[in-house]
Amino acid sequence: MAGAPVKQRVFRGGRVLVLALFYLSALSNHVDAAVNPTDVGVLNSLSAAWGANTMNWGTGDPCTWTGVFCDPTGTKVMNLLLQATNIAGTIPAAIGSFTGLEQLDLSYNPGLGGPIPPQIGQLTTLTSLIIQNCALTGPVPPEIGNLKNLTFIGLNNNYLSGSIPSSIGSLQQLYWFDLSTNNLTGELPVSTKTTDGYGLDTMTGCKHFHFNNNSLTGPLPSEFGAPPDGIPKLTKLIHMLLENNQLSGSIPDSIANLTSLEILSLSNNKFTGIIPPGLSRLATGPLGSTLEQILVGGNQLTGTIPNFTALNPKLAVVEFSKNLFDPQPFPEWLKSAPTLQTVYMEYVGLIGPLPADVLAYPSLETLWVRNNSLNGTVIIPPVIGPKLLTLSLQNNEFVGFTQTNTSTNMSQIDIELAGNPACDANNVGRPTQLCDQPSGSKLPWSSPFVSNCPSVTCSDSLVLNPLKTGNCNCTLPLEMQLEARRPTFSVITDSLIETLRLKLVAQLNLQNSQVWISTAAFSADGRAEINVDFFSADGVSDLDRASTSNITHSLTSNSLVLDEIKPYLARVIVSGETFFATSKKRLGTGAIVGIVLGVLAALAAVGIYAFWQRRRAERLKHISKPFAKWGKGEGESALDAPQISGARFFPYSEVKRITNNFSENNEIGVGGYGKVYSGVLDNGNKVAVKRAAKDSMQGAEEFKNEIELLSRVHHKNLVGLVGYCYDQGEQMLVYEFMPNGTMSEWLRGKMAYPLDWSKRLSIAVGSARGLAYLHELADPPIIHRDIKSQNILLDDKHVAKVADFGLSKQAPDGLQIQTAQVKGTLGYLDPEYYMTNELSDKSDVYSFGVVLLELLTSKAPIQNGKYIVREVRTAYQEGGLEGVESILDPSVFEASQEDLRRFLDLALSCVEELGADRPSMNEVVRELETLANRNKPKAKASAQATDETWLTDVYGDEDYDDAGQGTSSNFKYSGGYKMPAPEPK
Ligand SMILES: *[C@@H]1O[C@H](CO)[C@@H](O)[C@H](O)[C@H]1NC(C)=O
Ligand SMILES: *[C@@H]1O[C@H](CO)[C@@H](O)[C@H](O)[C@H]1NC(C)=O
């Protein structure tokens, strides 16, 4: 059952000795009330297969072994709960021989792979089968259909293949069926087409179909709502999650018979035809209207969005983006939806004005109507919705902007207007701030709580619990990440996080100070990921095994009600005592990913690391002499600061003015060192200001050295330093502003643009050159240490520039994120550097290799628990170019096979395990330039007008110094919706 607590382990004092004896005489059966020999035999087989003897398995009463829970008489194993215990290997067939197993949970063991043995079908007493976030392969065994008492199947986030067995359709008790994020193919089984007469349409009790993120094909069966006997069975279904598959055909009108449906998610498939207006009938079931979320973006739907007024009562999230709709006005019926929270409607062909009252909707938080053809004037009405936070209006035909509102919450709204005629440079009333608002600034969040033991620095994965006042102990928490499976909100607020935290405390029955939410951020596709640390109650010991098991099982079995992120997915990042401690020696990439995930949590420690070669140290001292008068920092007069060529000194007052007094509206980023703000200089040039937080400031000497160094770094592929501020106790660096966003946004942001092969090459060549300069030509050489797609920016001509230099080589002390000396970003971190703590230029090469793989696949380095390096490498090794085809972004097939192979070889050589096996950045640049030149004639011939600026960079015939002066042509797709790139064959 959903809320079933973990059954208590039965302790029976005084029997340990007896049982030890029993155990020694393994199969003898003369001891009363001991675990039956069959179950003991199974446990022994599992122990042998999984190395479970490291967890106290093998001696004493099996009922006291880690994760083994017996029935009240102590004669059989009832529950086997081994989440996050670092078991590794495959699941032995013997598991089918347990005599009375009811709950099996093996989740969060990345080393557990191979197929699920068909013998699992012998466990007829089983009620819940949970093996999520492991590395299972092979098919979902049809024998699971024999387990008639099953209520819960959670096999998500593995590598299972084959199709969904129809036999599972016979399980009438099953209410949770989760196979999401696997490698499943084939059609959704329905009873009319299967030989056993079962299918998903016969699952009378099921509430959850979670089949998203697979490769399922075929139609969404009309039988779901209209079975052959005419009596709909799926009337309990509340979540139908089918996004990110290859489903096709039209959306059947009969879905309207699933009268309990709360979430209908069909995004990113190949659905065609219209959205059936008949879905309105969903509101006429016995429960009235239940639908909360309808997500159909990223298909090939036509016609217009129907009037769904009837569905309004519960509607919170609508996503219609990126379809092939006819031109249509903004759907006015949405206005009567009292709980409407999030609207995604980009590339849906909207025309006409944006009705002013949209902005007054009572619960609207996020409205995305960018990339349409809306026109007229944007009118901010006198009264705006109290919850409105994000208004994304870019790339429409708006000619003006009028604000009649004076209320205070105006300042909290992020309005983005770029790419409209209202933002033309010669427009008299140009609303500068709205026009220059960087797009898609979905900001990460980090806890306002900081430790009150600033002098304590925890080592390894130990963490100081900032909620436990007066306690300066570093302990090992259970670190988990909760991921919202839907893009329901686009701003993470303190109150949202606190609400979630209190729910965790209450529902897990923990003390208030045991649950700390350290950071939260958005994934590339806009879903929130929230990092939670669970601490022991006493503040002194590490979180114990029993609590770890209880918390993880509550999450895998979906026993917690967390509406804010419903439905959610939970991952273990570091599970204290076991995972981290025992996996460090294992050098497989999987283990390293696990460790890295944990150690780094979500915050990237940014900055550079300059390694001064010994013989250069003396020279440097000399160079830094011009700073001699600069004093010690805090409270020093600005007049003492020197003027150095190449970097201007900014008084604090000026920075304050150009950033609107560091207003929230100007915030464009945040990291371990502090925040980044946008600002406009008096000469009209835009800049980005990186402001060190109080506790991440450096000593005066170090800061001087850093500016000294940065002011001498000039290259067209590096974001230029404009100046610095060292005044009023502040340390800030001022950089040129990059109007065209980050490579990551172009590949995966909410408005990811199609990037063709030559653009991808252009980004690769440009950023490689920038990095090569840092390694080979900067004096002293600089190791960037945080190369990633978010740090590769595009200027107004789409020249790629490496960003994020300087300030805070050290992340702030005392903050929780500062748990390891190794710095970098999850997914990009060189495993060798991680293991040895020795940084070299080859660590950047590794990270750059990951960037190249992103350019090939458009995927994030870690996506759905899959690590891009491993995924590509394995597929390539096993199947050559054909093997990786399905992973690559379709647009790269524009390249010739040979070019693709060379690019892939280069990327994989950069991510070799050993630094010595990786090429230098110079070698990388040479190979990329060769590829770019081979690509040149074809690319130029087919280039669109807007593409030309991309190409100049590749062939290097443009000078850096001109780059800022060119006519700033706003990059924009003129035709509104762009057809998706064709699929590979
Ligand atoms: C299935 O559940 C029912 C009701 O709890 C129980 O009576 C029955 O014994 C169970 N079947 C098996 C095979 O355990
Ligand atoms: C996923 O499935 C595809 C096609 O069936 C196959 O080529 C690929 O190797 C599979 N990937 C994994 C990780 O099993």
pLDDT over 70 at 33, yes or no: no
- C-alpha 409/C-alpha 272 separation (Å) is 41
SS3 for 1-63 is CCCCCCCCCCCCCCCHHHHHHHHHCCCCCCCCCCCCHHHHHHHHHHHHHHCHHHHCCCCCCHH
Residue owning the nearest CA to atom 9 of ligand 2: 875
Angle, helices 897-910 vs 921-942, to 10°: value is: 150
For residues 323-338, average pLDDT: 91
Helix (H, G, I), strand (E, B) or coil at 518: strand
- C-alpha 849/C-alpha 872 separation (Å) is 12
The DSSP string of 830-887 is -HHHHHH----HHHHHHHHHHHHHHHHH---SEETTEEHHHHHHHHHHHHHHHHHTTT
Of 61, 105, 756, 786, which one is the catalytic site residue? 786
Q: Phi and psi for 659 in degrees, rounded to 5?
A: -105, 20
> Residue 184: what pLDDT?
97
Q: Which ligand is nearest to the CA of 100?
A: 1
pLDDT over 70 at 543, yes or no: yes
pLDDT over 80 at 574, yes or no: no
Nearest to 517 by CA among 422, 607, 429, 449: 449
Radius of gyration over alpha carbons of the chain, in Å?
Answer: 29
For ligand 2, residues with CB inside 6 Å are 159, 161, 183, 185, 875, 886
Per the listing, tokens 């640049």 go with 925
- C-alpha 187/C-alpha 163 separation (Å) is 7
> Residue 445: what pLDDT?
77
> Is 905 tagged catalytic?
no
SS3 for 317-336 is EEECCCCCCCCEECCHHHHH
Per the listing, tokens 């004092």 go with 13
Lowest mean pLDDT among 211-220, 582-591, 639-648, 796-805: 582-591
The pLDDT tens digits for 551-566 are 999 998 888 888 888 7
Tell me if 468 is assigned to a ligand binding site.
Answer: no
Lowest mean pLDDT among 474-483, 726-735, 966-975: 966-975
Looking at residue 754, what DSSP letter applies? P
Please state the atom number of ligand 1 nearest to the C-alpha of residue 124.
Answer: 13
Pocket-testing residue among 863, 886, 887, 985, ligand 2, by greatest number of atoms within 8 A of Cβ: 886
Pocket-testing residue among 125, 126, 146, 174, ligand 1, by greatest number of atoms within 8 A of Cβ: 125
Q: Which ligand is nearest to the CA of 146?
A: 1
Please tell me the distance between residue 59's alpha carbon and the centre of ligand 1 in angstroms: 32
Q: Is 469 exposed, middle or buried (0-12, 13-18, 19+ CB in 10 A)?
A: exposed
* Terminal CA-CA length for the chain: 45
- C-alpha 925/C-alpha 906 separation (Å) is 10
pLDDT over 90 at 306, yes or no: yes
Lowest mean pLDDT among 227-236, 508-517, 616-625, 652-661: 616-625
- C-alpha 336/C-alpha 358 separation (Å) is 10
Record: fold of 743-940 = Transferase(Phosphotransferase); domain 1 (1.10.510)
Please state the atom number of ligand 1 nearest to the C-alpha of residue 125.
Answer: 14
Q: Bigger pLDDT: 513 or 406?
A: 513
Please tell me the distance between residue 52's alpha carbon and the centre of ligand 1 in angstroms: 30
- C-alpha 680/C-alpha 830 separation (Å) is 37
Residue owning the nearest CA to atom 1 of ligand 1: 149
pLDDT over 50 at 40, yes or no: yes
- C-alpha 475/C-alpha 712 separation (Å) is 43
> Residue 80: what pLDDT?
96
Residue owning the nearest CA to atom 12 of ligand 2: 159
Class of domain 463-574: alpha beta
The pLDDT tens digits for 909-937 are 999 988 889 999 999 999 999 888 887 64
Looking at 353-485, which runs of residues are DSSP E strands? 366-368, 373-380, 390-392, 397-403, 414-416, 445-446, 463-464, 474-475, 478-484
CA angle 313, 304, 392 (to 5 degrees): 70
In CATH, the architecture of 638-736 is: 2-Layer Sandwich (3.30)
Helix (H, G, I), strand (E, B) or coil at 501: helix
Q: Which ligand is nearest to the CA of 880?
A: 2
For residues 484-493, average pLDDT: 76
Tokens standing for 704?
Answer: 């001087």
Please tell me the distance between residue 182's alpha carbon and the centre of ligand 2 in angstroms: 9
Q: Bigger pLDDT: 805 or 683?
A: 683
Sign of CA dihedral 55, 58, 60, 65: positive
Residue owning the nearest CA to atom 7 of ligand 1: 149
Please, are residues 109 and 84 in contact by the beta-carbon 8 Å criterion?
Answer: yes
pLDDT more than 90, % of the chain: 37
Q: Do the bridges between strand 478-484 and strand 528-534 make them parallel or antiparallel, or are there none, so unpaired? A: antiparallel
The DSSP string of 657-711 is HHTTTT-GGGEEEEETTEEEEEEE-TTS-EEEEEEE-GGGPPPHHHHHHHHHHHH
> Residue 824: what pLDDT?
62
Sequence ranges of the domains in the chain? 463-574, 638-736, 743-940
The pLDDT tens digits for 109-143 are 988 999 999 999 999 999 999 999 999 999 999 99
Lowest mean pLDDT among 164-168, 309-313, 651-655, 854-858: 651-655
Please tell me the distance between residue 149's alpha carbon and the centre of ligand 1 in angstroms: 6
pLDDT over 50 at 397, yes or no: yes
The pLDDT tens digits for 663-688 are 888 887 766 567 888 898 888 788 88
The pLDDT tens digits for 636-651 are 333 344 445 567 888 8
Helix (H) or strand (E) holding 955: helix 948-955
pLDDT more than 70, % of the chain: 77
Looking at residue 713, what DSSP letter applies? -
pLDDT over 80 at 320, yes or no: yes
Q: Is 965 exposed, middle or buried (0-12, 13-18, 19+ CB in 10 A)?
A: exposed
Most confident of 150-154, 343-347, 383-387: 150-154
Please, are residues 200 and 226 in contact by the beta-carbon 8 Å criterion?
Answer: no
> Residue 671: what pLDDT?
60
Please tell me the distance between residue 417's alpha carbon and the centre of ligand 1 in angstroms: 61
Most confident of 48-62, 146-160, 359-373: 146-160
Please state the atom number of ligand 1 nearest to the C-alpha of residue 102.
Answer: 14
Tokens standing for 573?
Answer: 């990042």
